[in-house]
Amino acid sequence: QVQLQESGPGLVKPSETLSLTCTLSGGSISGYFWSWIRQLPGKGPEWIAYIYSSGITNYNPSLKSRVTISVDRSNNQFSLSLNSVTAADTAVYFCARIINAVAAFDIWGQGTLVTVSS
């Protein structure tokens, strides 16, 4: 059974970089698209970025200037980096698998709350 687990600091200071890793178990990262999604408090989710196992990426235009997504196939992981964070980036961050060519997320991590505060 494929499972995803997010990991990373739960507290980040303003202006610093938020870094999260998603680890896949029970399957292979190869041959799929993988994504980061966030959900601000009390709001709907927001797609951040996706990456194919080969390294092809795509970013939400509203966040593109601050975001980097990367993949580590040897460790079955992919990562998110969001720089110059502010309180407005406080959210639950989810990683998820994308069903190829369907633009839908079929497997999600449990999510991790990241608070931006000094």
Partner 1 sequence: QSALTQPPSASGSPGQSVTISCTGTSSDVGTYDLVSWYQQHPGKAPKLMISEVNKRPSGVPDRFSGSKSGNTASLTVSGLQPEDEANYYCTSFAGTNNWLLFGGGTKLTVL
From residue 80, how far is each of 37, 42, 101 by CA, in Å? 10, 22, 22
Binding mask 38-57 for partner 1 (x = CB under 8 A): -----xxxxx--x-------
Bridge pairing between strands 11-12 and 112-116: parallel
CA angle 18, 90, 33 (to 5 degrees): 60
**Residue 12 or residue 93: which is nearer to partner 1 going by CB?**
93
Residue 58 lies near partner 1 (rule: CB under 8 A): yes
For 9, the 3-state DSSP assignment is: coil
Binding mask 85-114 for partner 1 (x = CB under 8 A): ---------x----x--xxxxx-xxxx---
Q: Which two tokens stand for residue 109?
A: 């991590």
**Residue 83 or residue 110: which is nearer to partner 1 going by CB?**
110
What is the binding site for partner 1 (CB under 8 A)? 43-47, 50, 58, 60-61, 94, 99, 102-106, 108-111
